[in-house]
Structure 1
Amino acid sequence: MHGPKIRFALIILCSIAAAPTWAGNRQRAHEMSARLDCGINLGNALEAYHEGQWGLSLRSEHFDIIRKAGFRSVRVPIRWSSHAQPTPPYTIDPRFLARIDWVVAQALAHDLLVIIDTHNDDMIHKSPQMHTERFLAYWRQVASRYRSAPDTVLFEILNEPHGNLTSAAWNRLIDRTLKLIRETNPSRMVIVGSAEWNGFQQLDNLEIPETDDNLIVTFHYYSPGTFTHQGAPWVPGSSAWLGTSWGSADDHKAVESDFVQVKAWAVRHDRPVLLGEFGAYEKGDPRSRVAWTRAVSSAARRSGFSRMYWDFATNFSLYDVQQNRWRTDLLDAVRADASK
């Protein structure tokens, strides 16, 4: 790794000393959500089976680059299952946990809020009942490890629940996971979204405890998929979408209409909202990608949602690691109306 080695314990102690005192009510969650804006996902690094396999290994300078560009938060997708025992007690490899410590410490050292996000847990999506205890074992270890971390470290229970993890099954898992996390982190800010890939259409089916004020609700936005995922090799049939453009009046109206729905839900439930992922795959034409990104980012900002772009430096990227430079047109679109 490049850059100075930073001791996680020191970062934790210093950050706790500097942390503000909160009233412990719903307002705190709204304020913390606002602090997340504007953020970026460190995608395709630690949620790969092994870091570097999907094109990105995190380095100290990445955090410096991100902060200097005006970003205030990072979301860290993590695949625990590739680094844990396959049988009880499902112990996570201490070396991998130390790597996560390093990432968290780097974020804190660069004045970035950081989201620890369980990502790409394929087994829980396929067989929720069979894998619930394993899933909870991961969170028991993570929650205990970061119990003394500053409030600028947030937890996200699970990225994009889908498959057999239906709304009903997902709501049950949310309940059990939150209770477990609250045993050691009673006031930790936790992020949770709806089933069906964190789609906003399922928000009305999301069940979260009314008495837990320390929650931020997330949704992901990649609509229309025929534009944002054209040519994406992991999406069956996406090669047929190549050449799809975006930017008509109807295209803009569709974004506005979707975000009006999310805003209405947020107001009814008095919950802060994080647009946890949005982006357009690299195969789209550059002008349309910029137009879509600006429209989505601006709509989120006007709606009062915090924003985190997908992703930093791989196939949706804002930053070209080969040329060591930002893609400034996309970067400006992501940061639309953001205060630094």
Structure 2
Amino acid sequence: MAAPAKAQPTAKEWNKDVVGWNLGNQFECSAPGQDGESMAIGMADNSIKAETAWGNPVVTKKTIKAVKEAGFNAVRIPIRWQCHITNPTAMSIDKAWLARVKEVVNWCLSNDLKVIINTHHDKWLEGRPTNQYKDENNQKLALLWLNIASEFANYDYRVAFAGTNEVHIKDNWGKPEAENLAVQNSYNQTFVDVVRATGGNNAKRHLLVQTYVCNPDFGINNGDFIVPTDIEGNGNDYMSVEFHYYTPWDYAGECKYNFWGEPYKAKGEASPNDEKTMSEFFDKVVSTWSNQGLGVVIGEWGVTDRQKSGQTDLIHENMTYYCHFLVCEAKKRGFSTFIWDNNSFGSGSEHFGIFDRNAGMKVKAPWVLQGILDGKK
């Protein structure tokens, strides 16, 4: 994929009007026979089959084309690398796995979709943000991104890199210690340094750096998040801050409430967080990061499905309303958004499916898609 003649866009330009989709539970799976929480680095038997290890079919051209035709203009591809490492000392990546990742990235580009690739569920990195492992992990992270960035150095500006994912102490999603925050900040700086050092289009590649556990609350307050130093001449122009936004969790994730938003408070018990809460928070993101020249990427967001006898249609209508409001508010502030789709359908937590990958990408949550597309307008 040769670079286009035009200059690399800034991060803000890259994010403008981007309404994206996550290829969830696909390339970030653990390899067959490997514990999903394993810290082990190295090839597992049949690691190339990791793509289908969590029950999804292989990604095809049709998968990506369907996403484009539905109205999305970008794809985030979460990727676990640890079970595809052929030489742990050099963090070398299995050529077959790299070829497969490139194949799907190329399908996205051929549909003129922007792409984000990251490190996702690399447990040695995500699960040990402590001083004990800080130096070791930064060394491994540098080698890993040296290998990834070198492979993609000639890819054009549509491909962006994200250094980490939801880094947190295992089983603890709560408030971090200062030590944990400092380790996440060190990961971000290592990532930026090594990608820039590979040159080519990577010198001005759009790079995404993350708040601790991708929770914006652990980045936006009290100086918890330190903006990495980019190479001379770049400033903050080619970096975005990424956070995830399943907010409010009591509505979007755990289904404590079936309704959200002022117009629906009379329909049933609704989350105390509403439109004002979201808008004010997004404004705080602008004043904290956008006003420093940084882009903003909501790398994951979503609202899980739920059904209730006699109210399912109204609940789905409310989900449309939530999706529309979030995408619209994010878009007008210049944030890119990437809806989480894990191909899981049903009622209750973790049912974020939109396209049924086992049924030719049939849309099974049209109420979610409608809200996103209405918000995109």
TM-score scaled to structure 1, two decimals?
0.83
CA distance in 2, matches of 1:181, 1:76: 18
2:298 counterpart residue number: 275
2:19 counterpart of 1:38? yes
Unaligned runs of 5+ in 2: 31-49, 170-175, 264-271, 308-314, 345-350
The within-5 A match list for 1:196-235 is 196-203=213-220, 204-207=223-226, 208-209=228-229, 211-230=235-254
2:204 counterpart of 1:187? yes
CA distance in 2, matches of 1:97, 1:225: 35
Name the structure where helix makes up a greater proportion of residues: 1
Pair 63,319 (structure 1): closer, same or farther in 2 beyond 3 Å: same
2:284 counterpart residue number: 261
CA contact (8 A) 1:44 1:54 kept: yes
Give 1:252 shift.
Answer: 2.1
Give 1:242 shift.
Answer: 5.1
Query: CA-to-partner distance for each residue in 1:132-158, whole Å, 9 max, x for gaps?
Result: 322222111101111111111111111
Pair 134,201 (structure 1): closer, same or farther in 2 beyond 3 Å: closer
Q: Counterpart of 1:47 in structure 2: which amino acid?
A: E
Query: CA-to-partner distance for each residue in 1:124-179, whole Å, 9 max, x for gaps?
Result: 13334243322222111101111111111111111122227722111112112211
CA distance in 1, matches of 2:87, 2:260: 45
SS state at 1:217 partner: strand
Unaligned runs of 5+ in 1: 1-11, 231-240
SS state at 1:276 partner: strand
Pair 193,131 (structure 1): closer, same or farther in 2 beyond 3 Å: closer
Pair 161,170 (structure 1): closer, same or farther in 2 beyond 3 Å: same
CA distance in 2, matches of 1:278, 1:145: 29
CA distance in 2, matches of 1:330, 1:167: 34
- 305-314 or 170-179: bigger deviation: 305-314
CA contact (8 A) 1:116 1:155 kept: yes
2:334 counterpart of 1:304? yes
Give 1:312 shift.
Answer: 6.4
Query: CA-to-partner distance for each residue in 1:288-309, whole Å, 9 max, x for gaps?
Result: 4323222222221232212111
2:78 counterpart of 1:60? no
The within-5 A match list for 1:316-335 is 316-323=352-359, 324-326=361-363, 327-335=365-373
CA distance in 1, matches of 2:13, 2:342: 25
Give the CA RMSD over aligned residues: 2.3
CA contact (8 A) 2:141 2:190 kept: no
CA distance in 2, matches of 1:124, 1:262: 26
CA contact (8 A) 2:324 2:375 kept: no
SS state at 1:336 partner: helix
2:182 counterpart of 1:168? yes
CA contact (8 A) 1:117 1:157 kept: yes
Identity, in percent, stands at: 26
Query: CA-to-partner distance for each residue in 1:242-301, whole Å, 9 max, x for gaps?
Result: 564323465222222221211221343121211211101234653443232222222212
2:83 counterpart residue number: 82
CA distance in 1, matches of 2:261, 2:14: 33
Give 1:225 shift.
Answer: 1.3
- 74-83 or 134-143: bigger deviation: 134-143
Q: Counterpart of 1:221 in structure 2: which amino acid?
A: Y
Q: How many residues are paired up?
A: 310
